[in-house]
Amino acid sequence: MDIISELPDDLLLRIMSFVHTKTAFDAQLLSKRWRNLWKKLPTLYHDYTFHKSESQFLVFINKTLELLESSVLESFYIRIVPTQTSSGVFLRGCLLAKLQVRELNFISIINPVALQIKKGIYHLQTLVILRIECCSLEDGYGNQIIPLQSLKVLQLRCVKYSSDASLSNLLSSLPSLEDLFLDRCSSDNKPTKTLSIAVRCLLRLTVLRCPDNCESHLMRLNVNAPSLKYLNVEDHWRNVSFLRRRWKSS
């Protein structure tokens, strides 16, 4: 047996948590010592580029989720390259709902993928941290509100919204939200002139604005957050920050 295989499980799992889940999964071919080790991983990192098709990608995700030994998952990362047929099937079709997931990171590269919040995320009631990057958020079920009671940290980077009310509807379903990060970059093809944020428990708010043209940077920010302790607003034009406001409560 090699030296690495003689390391304790906790240390091996720590090492394996830094690699893609596909790599950790394939490690079971090395020896019996590695056969079931990946099933104890507290973090899964799924990358579409390791697979040949969307269907193969989804099958692999479901397979790994089914074989996990624990029903508690600390972190789940999913990185996809959407095709024209993508419609948010990844979260709706996978078995995350059967697990207690604490942190979810959903990243789409090249083109935004449609992600229906109420079909894809609201069933994950144990979420504490949610990060979404380069996606198109769709409300899904009209005005029906399904609160995510445990969510405390929300980060939205380069996100498109299906309507002006999409962000407000999302925030209204997060009664425990404490930290909000919004990076409203050039992928937002319908820049919002007025951005309204109303969250009762919000403690930290960061808003970044990176427009494509000089007209789109004009934005009014309305904040209703009585518990707010930290505010950082930055507006960038040609990689130069011309508006920067930081505020901390006493």
Asked whether 210 and 186 are in contact (CB, 8 A), the reply is yes
User: 83-98: per-residue pLDDT in tens?
Assistant: 544 444 555 556 677 7
User: 215-245: per-residue pLDDT in tens?
Assistant: 444 467 888 999 999 998 877 654 444 444 4
Beta-carbon-side half-sphere exposure of residue 87 (alpha carbons within 13 Å): 3
Would you state the pLDDT for residue 148? 86
User: How far from 53 is each of 2, 39, 133, CA to CA, in Å?
Assistant: 35, 24, 21
Scored b (16 or more CB within 10 A) or e, 163-172 reads: eeebbebbbe
Would you state the pLDDT for residue 17? 85
The CATH topology of domain 1-41 is Monooxygenase (1.20.1280)
d(CA 173, CA 39): 33
